[in-house]
Structure 1
Amino acid sequence: MQLSTYLILDGNCREAFEFYQRCFDAKLEALATYAEMPASEGMEIPEEASNLVMHARLRIGDQTLMASDNSPCSPAPYEGIKGVSIAVGVDSVEQAEKLFNALADNGTVQMPLDETFWAHRFGMLVDKFGVAWMINYDKGEQAAA
């Protein structure tokens, strides 16, 4: 079994995934717009929404991050991403600092990256796309002692 994160973004999915591709040095495996989607009865896509992203997939190491823009057929307005953070475990202080600083660019740092009782480095931020992140370089076994 594998869990994957799927984000719903507010019309900036393409920009977000280009940003994440750079931050994580990741591979963009898929990006399709609503214009590329086969016609489907009951799902009429407005012309102004045709370039919105219907599905994107980014390969980060052996993990997958997926997303789309909010559906133009959604009856409810976009209300942002609430009540969830993406937790990323890294392998070094340097990797933690590099990733945290990259994701924090034009975002909001909620907890600066620093040493904690459980981690060599831990920090929390909300990036410029409204996605919350927790970056953690765990102390491993010694944290439980």
Structure 2
Amino acid sequence: MKIAIGNDHVGLILKPAIVDYLHELGHETVDSGTNSNERTDYPIYGEKVGKMVASGETDLGIVICGTGVGISLAANKVKGIRAVVCSEPYSAKLSREHNNTNVLAFGSRVIGEELAKMIVREWLDAKFLGGRHGRRVNMLSAIEEEQ
């Protein structure tokens, strides 16, 4: 799978470990984040990853900032993106199974490296269940279309 990685200066702390972990799992990554410690704005990178996923350039995206919240909000502004902020693996798994999320967000000020890897693994291993969940995801898409 091809996965876009985006981060601001605060998310740079976790990015190398997550990229290495994704490579260990056999995935290709596309770096769409900053590689500098200089202060930058998370919306830039959330949008970049969102656009890469929405266009099909990458299969999924992972975004990292201080809390995961701001960068996920930016990604969610891109049509077709369902980004989720997770600080534990269970929500990551269910977000894929029930909500068919295509961008995962977390915060480098909230979780550590090993927990981040657990979250990524659960999220990637989970599969969308469809059925009643598909109807609900379609309802989300309909709301998006009305805008």
Structure 1 or 2: more helix by fraction: 2
Q: Same fold (TM over 0.5)?
A: no
Larger Rg: 1
Higher strand fraction (1 or 2): 1
Give the TM-score normalised by the residue count of structure 2: 0.32
